[in-house]
A and B are shown apart, each in its own frame.
Chain A
């Protein structure tokens, strides 16, 4: 079990080397307006734009797909849910399943939802696939004026994540050694999972506490203004990235309004 999220991009790609805060802001400004509409066209347009800029982030499509697999799984789940529970059974009947009739109406609303999911998720995946966590924390503190206590603290906690995977394995094996296993009983399996997760949490809290003391011992809580060993700069190109992202999002929404398919969520 690995929990490390390392950048997988070519760091010299024109958009990958933009300031992390600019990338994050661009991703949010681009994808958040998409939530406002229920039609499938807007997210489809947005997704097209996203896929078109992927090469400028230095990310190969195969790698992107691998990073985005949880989204694929979630979209399948969405499809099943819509077939089972959709209230809108209008349109042409495609597959007769009684109360679960698959009609064009069902598929249309399902595809709208799935496209929205992808359109919102892909920018996030892109940002984290092209950004080193240390750079992100630095930029959050230096350019977005986030409190160092929060940004650097989260970064330090992030470093401990891979340990949790090893810890989980040892806890599971130790429980077997103590004679505790679930066999084929699902209730016992859930109870065992919860108790192992609790032990993992207790251990993580203790380690987190020790790390916090070690950080304070090196003056993290001194209240002295920090200096920056690694300078993050916010250039005109970073501003351009944010502005263009917002403009493209507006373009997608304007198009769907112009074509009369825009369906506001409220």
Chain B
């Protein structure tokens, strides 16, 4: 366990005007378990990177001091373990056991000790497979458990966790939290996580960073949320106990705008029939591997089904045979990873791509772009490169690009995935407005809150049954 002391600490990345984090005074004692909160952009990840000794002096400018057991983090790296968001870019080796052994090899742990330590670490996180298990065959949650084992195998005295569940579906996130709870030892822990309710059982202290610099609040969770809950919720933190009223359609849905009839995709989707009409939000749910994303691609006219067909808009031809320009004028698809959709190097250009494809006049295009920039709060970023946006901004832009051609059907794959509360509310409100304007909306989602708040109908894949419209209910 480690003692962490920050005095007036600050860091500015080379080439940036603003400080990523500054004026932080903090003392974390041996064995404390701290949840580090703050709106996006408050510098939480930068602070963790600094503690992990991953900010070399030449990569930016620092202020104040930061010490782990009295040492500079650059010299305390063998005391610190860190787990990041994305499981895919943390695993190094092809076999699970080899991956845990990787860190031990780097530290020069004698070969005879490596394998006992590996099994010990795998036991602690509850990894259910033999050490020869291929890392490519693991689900996201299992891979993240393995990454945690890789960090724990090095017996860190300070364990840093940078949104370890943000890239996982709810089942995967549960796996990781279970591992964190059961592997609990006397190491000092600092956790960054925006799903606060689920993280609270793992911590005994909450520290809130102020975006402009400094620490806003620090103390026991109940105390911090009682005093700062409202403000944190406004800034996008998922504070426990803050609910959002349901937004249901006021009108009945029209007959199907697009309909899939007994579609199958080899090895990805078992036979499914469903349709969606204007003025409704259809949520597609189901376990991992049931083919939700595949169904979204089919309804978006992007994938050819192996069997059955998808038709709509009174067009004789199946959706996947339409030319791209026709498709984009009728159906807007929003992918799970926004970056897949970006094709230009400026936000404003990105919004102009679709309308230009449809042959709209320059003045029409300019009007569409300005309108969308304003509606989705992207005005200040019009000249920014889409790849440099934050997670929430990139999500808003990807939705905006789909709206630019005014399609009547919107198909979204996990639109609320990993979003902070503020972006979440904006998205849900926007989708409700679009639905009430007569758009048809299909959303593939794991997010129960999203279903409860917005869905007029739920289609559960795997069991392939259409549930009745949900009763009006509030988020709890």
Contacts and interface: CB of A to CB of B under 8 A. Distances in A.
Nearest to A177: B333
A33 interface: no
Contacts of A162: 136
A214 B106 contact: no
B340 interface: yes
Given A155-B93, A156-B92, A179 B84 contact: no
Contacts of A178: 324, 328, 341, 343, 353-354, 357, 401
A240 interface: no
Nearest to B358: A179
Nearest to A219: B106
A173 B78 contact: no
Given A216-B54, A226-B105, A227-B105, A180 B92 contact: no
Interface string B321-358: 00111011101110101011111000000000110011
Contact of A218 (B89, B103, B328, B335): B103
Nearest to B334: A177
A218 B108 contact: no
Contact of A159 (B52, B78, B94, B115): B94
A179 B357 CA distance: 6
Interface string A196-228: 000100110001001101111111101011111
A1 interface: no
B108 A225 contact: yes
B104 interface: yes
Query: Which of A179, A199, A210 is the most central at the interface, judged by chain B CB atoms within 10 Å of its CB?
Result: A179
Contacts of B333: 174, 177
Nearest to B297: A173
Given A156-B92, A195-B343, A217-B82, A177 B335 contact: yes
B90 A214 contact: yes
A230 B98 contact: yes
B105 A133 contact: no
A252 interface: no
B293 to A, nearest CB: 10
B227 interface: no
Contacts of B93: 134, 155-156, 159
Query: Which of A132, A156, A177, A230 is the most central at the interface, judged by chain B CB atoms within 10 Å of its CB?
Result: A177
A63 interface: no
A180 B323 contact: no
Contacts of B89: 160, 207, 210-211, 214
Given A174-B341, A179-B354, A195-B343, A228 B401 contact: no
A229 B90 contact: no
B309 interface: no
A183 B323 contact: yes
A228 B114 CA distance: 9
A229 B104 contact: yes
A225 to B, nearest CB: 5
Query: Dominant SS at the A interface?
Result: helix
A213 B335 contact: no
B150 A218 contact: yes
A77 B77 CA distance: 55
A218 B358 CA distance: 50
A151 B111 CA distance: 19
Contacts of A133: 94
B405 interface: yes
B77 A219 contact: yes
Contacts of A263: none
B111 A227 contact: yes
Contacts of A225: 108
Contacts of A228: 105, 111
Contact of A210 (B86, B154, B341, B405): B86
Contacts of A134: 93-95, 98
B254 interface: no
B358 A176 contact: no
A176 B106 contact: no
Given A207-B88, A218-B150, A224-B108, A177 B327 contact: yes
Contacts of A214: 84, 89-90, 92, 147
Given A210-B84, A227-B110, A179 B302 contact: no
Contacts of A218: 81, 92, 102-103, 106, 150-151, 154
Interface of B: 52, 54, 77-78, 81-82, 84, 86, 88-95, 98, 101-111, 114-115, 118, 135-136, 147, 150-151, 154, 297, 300, 302-303, 323-325, 327-329, 331-333, 335, 337, 339-343, 353-354, 357-358, 387, 401-402, 405
Given A207-B88, A227-B111, A229-B111, 5 more contacts: A174-B335, A179-B325, A203-B339, A216-B54, A229-B101
Interface of A: 4, 132-134, 152, 155-156, 159-160, 162-163, 167, 170-171, 173-181, 183, 195, 199, 202-203, 207, 210-211, 213-220, 222, 224-231
17 contacts: A159-B91, A170-B337, A173-B335, A175-B343, A179-B353, A181-B323, A181-B325, A218-B81, A219-B77, A219-B103, A219-B154, A224-B108, A228-B105, A229-B101, A229-B114, A229-B118, A231-B111
